Structures are given as C-alpha cells and as structure tokens.
Amino acid sequence: MDVKQKIIDAVKVAAESAISEGVLKSTGELPEISLEVPPKKEFGDFSTNFAMQTAKIFHTAPRKIADEIKSRISEEWLEKIEIAGAGFMNFYLKADVIYSELKNIFDELENFGQLPNKKNIPIQIEYVSANPTGLLHVGHGRGAAAGSAIVNILRAAGYNVESEYYINDAGNQMENLAKSVNARYLELLGQPVEFPENGYHAVDIIDTTKKIIERDGDKYLSLPEDERLKVLEDLAYADKLAELKKDLANFQVNFDVWFSERKLHPDKINDAIKVLRERGEIYEKDGALWLASTKYGDDKDRVVVRENGVPTYLAADIAYHKDKFERGFSQLINLWGADHHGYICRVKAAMSALGYNADNLKILLLQMVSLYRGGELVKMSKRTGESITLRELMEEVGTDAARYFFLMRSIDSQLDFDLDLAKKQSSENPVYYIQYAHARICSIFRQTAEVGLTVPDAPKFSMMTTAAEIDLINKIFEYPDEIEKAAAEFAPQRIARYVYDLAAQFHSFYRDCRILGVDEDLAKARLALVKITAHTIKHALNLLGVSAPTSM
RNA sequence: GCGUCCGUGGCUCAGUUGGAUAGAGCAACGGCCUUCUAAGCCGUGGGUCGCGUGUUCGAGUCACGCCGGACGCACCA
C-alpha cells in the first residue's frame, strides 16, 4: 500500500531530524524500517519495532526513542500513534484513508494483484522434468503444482520468468523403454519373448504398445532386432511425451520451453568438458575423466566421462546448466524431489568450476507425498498395482482439489494427502470453502442484476463502517504484500492460506452485511466491495491454478 | 557414519527475514435459516512449540548438542 511507504518515510524523516537536533545520537547505521500489520486490531493498522531495533545504536531506551520519533510526526492522515509494549509504535489511520485506498484499488481493479515489473533479472525455472518413459505419479504432481504456482506467483510479483521442462531422452532409460516396448510388441503379436532385466513393467507400456500395433500392425516384426528397437524407441518416446504433455495440460501446467537432452549430445557436452579441462578442473584416472568437485565442497570427485567414453548424467547436466546461463538468465531455479538432494552439491560445484556464481542456481527441494484413504496409507494403485499416477488422482479428486492440497503445505514439509477429505463437497474441504465464497458472490450479482442494482463508478465506500466490512477491506489490502512475500520465499502455501482467510472474511461479511434491502448507496458500496473481493479470490485461485466457479 | 528436510492442541498444519496474550481447519460440545447459496455464520473447551544448553532487551523462529521420523549418500537417471 501507498500508506505503508508514507509511514516508513515519516518515521525515517523523524528519526533523522531527531538525530540532527542532537536529541538522538547515532553510533551506527540505521536499519531498514520494517512495517507490519499487527497481530491484533487493538494495535492499530500498522506497527514498527524500529525503536527496539535501534535501542543499541542510540544507547537509549526503546520507549524513549519511540517518544522522540512520535513527537516529530504530524501527518494529517494519521489518527494517532501509540507506543506499546517494549517499544512498538502503533499507527492508526484515519478512517477516510482506508476508503481512498479502497477507491484506488477499485479504479484499477483489473490490475489488482499484478505488481509492477521488477527491472532486469530474467529468471528461469525448471520443474517436473520426469523421464518420458512412463506416466507421471503423485510426486511429480506435487512438483507440477508447486512449480506452476511458483511461476504464476513470480510473474504476479513482477518478475520476468520462463518455465522449462528438461526431457531426459538420451540415456539408458530410453534404451530400456525401447526394450520394454519391443518385448510387449512381440508378446502381443504372439512371439516368444523374454522380458528385459531393467525393463518397465507398468501397464502404460502395454497401452503404448497397443497403440502402435493398432496403427501399424505387425509391420515391424520383420525388421532386424536393432532396427526394430530404434523404430519402437521413437514411436514409444513420442507417445510417452504426448501423454506427459496431456496430463500436465489437464493439470493446468504449461511450459514455455521443452528442452531435449539430445540437444546436448555430443557438442554441448564436449564443449563443457573442454572448458572445464582448460580451467584445470578435470583430470584422468582409471581411464575415466573426473571433475575435481571436492575443490568446491563436494564429498568426492565425480566421473563425467566413463572409461567407455560415454558421458555420465552429470556431464549432461553440467552442459545443460551451462547452456541455461549462456541463454542469459541471471537466476536459475530448479525444483527437485527431495530424494535428489544429494545431487545439489555436485551440480553447484560444477557451476563454480565453470566460473559461474553457484548462488545464481537456486535448487528448491520438494518433500515426499503420502496418500491416505480411509486413514490408511495408500502405496499402490488398486487398478494397476503400480504407484498411483497423477492421472488417477485427477480422476479421483479433481484437478482443483488435487492442486490445492498439493499447495496448501510448505514444500519443505512432507505431505499427507487425505483422499477422502479432498473428495468431500463440504466445509471440511478447504477448496470448496473458498470456491463457495466466489460462487456466492456471483450469485449476489445475479440477484442484484434482477432488481437493477449495479456497481457505480464512484461508490460511497465511507458508508461501510461495521467491523465485518472494515476487516474484509483490510484483508484485501494485504494481498499485494502477500504476493511479494510468497514470491520471495517461493511459498505457494502463503497464497493458499491467504485466499482461505479472505474467503472466511467474506463469509463473515456476508452474514452481517446484506446488500438487498438496505439503503441504496450503502448497497452499491457493498456491491463494489464484493466485486473487489471476487476479483481478489479469483486472482489468488488463478495463481494456484484452481478454478473459481460462478455457481456451485 | 555423513548429508537434507521435518518434530507446534486428539489429527493435519500455519506461524510474516527474532517481537506484543502461539493461530487455523478437522474432530468434540452448544447456538443460528419466512429475506442475496446453511458447501455458510457465531460461541466453548483443548498447548511444558521433541529435549537441553547458549546468543539476545526479547527465541516456536538463530547457534550447538542430543532424541525421534522421512529421504539420500553410483562410472543409474
């Protein structure tokens, strides 16, 4: 809010003048003034702990400092300043400030929730990046929900963000995919077959194979084994990738760039290794090439090219991240499953070895998901005997509930996902609770339209004085700040909680403040507030990738 | 053994880069529909913030050490 900055400035000016008058003697640099919304209404609209933080610098008791600052602030939009507790300064705004702030939001409602562009800093975020050898499971689902929400939040906060999916389509797993499909192909066509040792057994491989047979029949039977493997690899890969994209799109997840690992082979990998070698970061031992990653804090050095000349996964990853930096991003973010945390150190070490600032590569870890049904841990799908897929989850609980449940917890916390709760269409289910608030508002607009009541250009906001109205208004004011913090902390759960609280505030308002049947000006002011509320709920839900239904 | 994350009412979790009397939801109990969706609202009870030491005017939050849980520790990806 504008007011927030005005208060900060006023405190700063007051402190400086107290210093120049010699009343306060500074023995160090003043800290940044932080202004927060106090935990209780009685503590005013905003408060700062500035006096407590500067007690040491001024060699003065906090309450005395607060007193001196307070006596030097006289803004006509301030109702009063109170000094409380150990030295908190609580600011109380005059009522009309709230209404003019609300008017500002109302006048540019379409932009409310979109913060001004931050200069520079192009950010790239890579997430999901599951191998194209099977279906996405619930763990990928959490990553997909978190990654896409973080992208949305960063954009709302004004950052320039590009999202990317890294397709691991160049390693052993592709060979295994080909061998697995080949085995199923022969099997389905009645040929004797031995299933490959490291093959993929999941039923989706059979589905993929059946699709190939439906379209092309047995025409690949006559090919020599190695040629058939090659053909089937391409066909299976295309199918798996298409399925992946389909599931993600259904889950409200879209990527700007799909980056194939094959693009790194062999030139970009060779180039990266060449650079490392020139920088003296690579040595040869036992016929393999090693990266001296211990120099940068890794536990041990890592092989980048095997004895047989084939680069390791790490080599590709080094080339990949080098490529990202070369594309001009100044901040890279990777969202990985927590089971990959042991990998962080070596990748960062490699970036340092290449001469990049490893701090510009931020790796977020996502903790594991456990599904519960009827209070029991669900490990495997009843239908397939394999781990539960994202597709099955979407079918069972719906996209909105699945996304919200994935996002309502911090990414650092292991998630217990209650399937029964996610399916419930009642107040116990937070998703429905929030969506219901939006649907209720839409219903109000349908009702008011019937009697010809519409939102005016200049609502008389100052007519709204009850606690329920003021609380709702103040909750709306918090939204931009909440986006800023969620972006800074990569914390979608902040938005999930905020929109829940906003819905709760609206439900209370709905109970206390009728629109039909009250004074017309008041009704119109309330209708305008309700419009702002609907916009904010919908905007926040959009950030989470959850829909805002107009009726339920 | 080493590393990462977690430990907050019966259950699932928030807790604003250290701040005021630790908050929600579920579960339990008691109220509220002749008026815009009761998928809602209002109220009551329930806590040694895993344990200990330290830093600080102030610690759920920071540091160190334990205890407990999850996940990792490849010339796999």
Domain parsing of chain A, residue ranges? 2-93, 430-544
Parallel, antiparallel or unpaired: strands A46-48 and A35-36 = antiparallel
Which of A550, A546, A551, A552 has the alpha carbon at shortest distance from A431?
Answer: A546
Q: What ipTM, to 2 d.p.?
A: 0.94
- The least confident of A120-124, A139-143, A290-294 is A120-124
pLDDT in tens, A20-42: 998 888 877 788 888 888 888 88
With distances taken from each CA to the C1' atom of nucleotide B14, the closest residue turns out to be A497
List all nucleotides in chain B with at least one atom under 7 A from a protein Cβ.
Answer: 2-7, 12-17, 19-21, 23-27, 35-42, 57, 69-77
- Mean pLDDT value across residues A281-307: 94
**A412: nearest nucleotide, CA–C1' criterion:** B5
Neighbouring residues of A405: CB distance < 8 A, sequence distance ≥ 6: A397, A415, A417, A418, A422, A431
Which of A96, A102, A140, A36 has the alpha carbon at shortest distance from A482?
Answer: A36
**A44: nearest nucleotide, CA–C1' criterion:** B20
- Mean pLDDT value across residues A271-284: 96
**A527: nearest nucleotide, CA–C1' criterion:** B36
d(CA A508, CA A234): 58
Write down the pLDDT at residue A401: 92
Encode A154-187: b = buried (16+ Cβ within 10 Å), e = exposed.
Answer: bbbbbbbbbbbbbbbbbbebbebbbbbbbbbbbe
- Mean pLDDT value across residues A404-433: 86
Half-sphere exposure of A59 (CA within 13 A, CB side): 5
Write down the pLDDT at residue A509: 95
3-class secondary structure, A273: helix
pLDDT in tens, A68-95: 999 999 888 999 999 988 889 999 999 8
3-state helix, strand, coil in chain A (%, to 5): 55, 15, 30
Q: Using 50, 70 and 90 to split pLDDT, how confident is the model at A420?
A: confident
Neighbouring residues of A537: CB distance < 8 A, sequence distance ≥ 6: A434, A437, A438, A441, A499, A502, A503, A506, A548
Q: Using 50, 70 and 90 to split pLDDT, how confident is the model at A497?
A: very high
- A370/B27 CA-to-C1' distance in Å: 21
E strand spans, A343-496: 361-366, 369-373, 376-378, 415-418
Phi and psi (nearest 5°) for A194?
-115, 125
pLDDT in tens, A485-495: 999 999 999 99
Give the Cα-Cα-Cα angle A95, A112, A408 (nearest 5 degrees).
Answer: 100
Residue A373 has pLDDT above 90, yes or no: no
With distances taken from each CA to the C1' atom of nucleotide B19, the closest residue turns out to be A49
**A488: nearest nucleotide, CA–C1' criterion:** B17
Q: Using 50, 70 and 90 to split pLDDT, how confident is the model at A146?
A: very high
d(CA A151, CA A156): 9
- Mean pLDDT value across residues A312-316: 95
> What fold is seen in the domain A430-544?
Isoleucyl-tRNA Synthetase; Domain 1 (1.10.730)
Q: Using 50, 70 and 90 to split pLDDT, how confident is the model at A380?
A: confident
Helix-helix angle A138-156:A492-512, to 10 degrees: 70
- A12/B43 CA-to-C1' distance in Å: 44
- A34/B69 CA-to-C1' distance in Å: 37
**A468: nearest nucleotide, CA–C1' criterion:** B41
The class that CATH gives domain A2-93 is alpha beta
Q: Using 50, 70 and 90 to split pLDDT, how confident is the model at A234?
A: very high
- A368/B69 CA-to-C1' distance in Å: 13
Q: Using 50, 70 and 90 to split pLDDT, how confident is the model at A428?
A: confident
Write down the pLDDT at residue A454: 94
- Mean pLDDT value across residues A255-278: 96
Percent of chain A at pLDDT > 90 equals 77
- Mean pLDDT value across residues A3-32: 87
Q: Using 50, 70 and 90 to split pLDDT, how confident is the model at A421?
A: confident
- A426/B27 CA-to-C1' distance in Å: 15
Residue A3 has pLDDT above 90, yes or no: no
Residue A1 has pLDDT above 60, yes or no: no
- A365/B7 CA-to-C1' distance in Å: 19
What integer best gives the mean pLDDT of chain A?
92
Write down the pLDDT at residue A427: 65
